[in-house]
Structure 1
């Protein structure tokens, strides 16, 4: 979420959420993603800018370390968005710059979950195309760590996540942003993006072959029903399998132009049931068994309107945790009267 604040209410560390120009003149003072410090504050005052749009990171509830990572996330997001738009407009872009993004986030992976969840609550569907790639990279990195991959592989998996949808830069924006269901022709256009992305990465020697393969194959399914090549499980590499799980999870738990976000607990159930045969079982199970426990302590709203906190997650019933309410504990696995409607 973005809020407009009077300059006197801004603090060092606030992140500018729009380009700012001297009133009446096309001279930039600050650009989206700049972090306010004393020097920038002086420039804004000199330029007679008294109200600015900033990112609302809910500073009272977000730990300082997490907040700093959110600032870096915002910076990486801006860089990714610009590179994506440059590709869309036909400009020559160095994809190595995208592949090398988020290294600071990689070094602070223990706090990544809080960063991604906080950002999801702040960003709308209008930026989904860009936030999705950052999120998939971070989820992919977490999966790779949980699977015990070596450091080089973890970094490569993260690169694959960042690059997995880069081919969408060549898909018409109106299709990507369409609010309603896609026609068959529109979906066919979307389905071209893995091959386009693979071709964009093809000539860059510093991007390893496993990363390029993940860009090409992240929409393939274990049962051979995916695209673009309808490959089966044996022909799909591990990186592509990891990115596929991260891709599906982030899509389902994010606000998209054509579909509202679902709670993680709804998605746990759907991934366990409806994605059987589509996603790699080992990768999916490693992800679900680890990610679910990050939601212990999360604030949730129930179908009754009551607000509580996730107190415990059952390893065998990830979608039905115990929730602590004001008047006691509710075990959702043992009653049909309660269900989690949203994270808050």
Structure 2
């Protein structure tokens, strides 16, 4: 993506930074992809940053970039949350302790949208930030976890806890080498063994924070444990996992499938529903999975999609009993995925 080197002044307001910006002392001031608002501009000037790289176009939403004018306030805040998560992880990677205030601010913003989850889902579905899967994943899992908690009738404290658990579940990846974390292709057995350490690393990072509940800490270390005992790091079974960790497991898998990854493209939510059903009771708690299947599809009804043949369609119905089989109206025709056996959606619009 094209970038240009420009002076730091009011003319760059509304632009997106094309690089991480560091102070003279080597501390990150503002991360890549941040929108330059008045607060960010003042921060750059206060640190005496004279020139920065900015993108010539907007680094979000795949190939169809959203212009700064078309991004609403919720989307801007979502991008800010992702960038805050990035700074939190990069600080950890540089050897600093967890900035709990940063984590709490992101969590509080997500929780504040509890009664406007549609706006949050719009952000998750429409805003894709270039090269930021690791960081947007933390925010997305936090959002999905809050939704699952809401559908499970959680108390206010439980909801805030599960939002925090979603945000912190992968902080241990700050200690995984970038060449493994961002590898384009399958990991070797040795690399996979290193990757499997991240839940333990994450627990070590947060274990001494009294502000973080033990249930959240257990969710961080247990989110890759499977119902049948074949997960990691301990190989425990589902009856030994706490409820938060079961929720994070489902949210983690769902977002991983529906996000752009370094080694494969983004899949549709309906593909994610099908893959979750295929891994089934061996991997995830069936109750949590069914809560997702019953409630999540309603967020996609009315969505515009591009079909594999190039035509544009609209999702008009998703049956509760078969979450991966939507009915899509294309012109005057209806495509019923309970009949069609191929994935005919190319992308959401």
Q: Which residue of 1 aligns with 2:24?
A: none
Instruction: Give the direction of change, closer, same or farther, for the CA distance of 1:318–1:193 in structure 2 (3 Å limit).
Output: same
Which residue is equivalent to 1:259?
A: 264
Instruction: Select which of 274, 286, 289 maps to 2:294.
Output: 289
> Aligned equivalents of 1:51 and 1:81: distance in 2?
18
Report how far residue 230 of structure 1 moved.
0.8
Residue aligned with 2:132, SS = helix
Query: Where does residue 315 of structure 2 map in the other structure?
Result: 310
Q: CA RMSD in A?
A: 3.4
- Structure 1 residues without counterparts, runs of 5 or longer: 22-27
Q: Deviations over 1:306-325 (max 9, x none)?
A: 21010111111222211111
TM-fit CA distance, 1:140: 0.6
Bigger mean CA offset, 238-247 vs 302-311: 302-311
Query: Deviations 1:209-255 (Å, cap 9, x if unpaired)?
Result: 00000000000011111111111111100000001100000001111
Q: Larger deviation: 216-225 or 97-106? A: 97-106
Compared CA separation, residues 335 and 14, structure 1 to 2 (3 A): same
Matched residue, 2:66:
58
The equivalent residue for 1:80 is 85
Count residues in correspondence.
328
Could you tell me whether the CA contact under 8 Å between 2:31 and 2:87 is conserved in 1?
A: no
- Secondary structure of 1:90's counterpart equals coil
Inter-partner Cα distance in structure 1 for 2:186 and 2:133: 16
1:112 paired to 2:120: yes
Q: Which residue in 1 is equivalent to 2:142?
A: 137
Query: Does the CA-based 8 Å contact 1:77-1:131 persist in structure 2?
Result: yes
Structure 1 runs (4+) deviating above 6 angstroms are 1-4, 10-13, 28-31, 47-51
SS at match of 2:106: coil
CA distance in 1, matches of 2:266, 2:218: 29
1:234 corresponds to which residue? Answer: 239
* Structure 1 position 327, deviation (Å): 2.7
Secondary structure of the corresponding residue to residue 192 of structure 2:
helix
Q: Which secondary structure does the structure 1 equivalent of 2:230 belong to? A: coil
Q: Please give the residue correspondences for 1:187-198 in structure 2 after superposition, counting only pairs within 5 Å.
A: 187-198=192-203
Checking the alignment, whether the CA contact within 8 Å between 1:17 and 1:55 is kept in structure 2 is no
| 1:18 corresponds to | 18
Structure 2 gaps of 5+ residues are 22-27
CA contact (8 A) 1:180 1:258 kept: yes
Instruction: Find the residue that maps to 2:141 and give its secondary structure.
Output: helix
Q: Deviations over 1:21-45 (max 9, x none)?
A: 9xxxxxx99875244459959x99x
How far is 1:329 from its partner?
A: 2.5
Q: Is the 8 A contact 1:194 1:217 kept in 2?
A: yes
Q: Which residue of 2 aligns with 1:340?
A: 345
> TM-score if structure 2 supplies the norm length?
0.83
What TM-score comes out, normalization by structure 1 length? Answer: 0.84
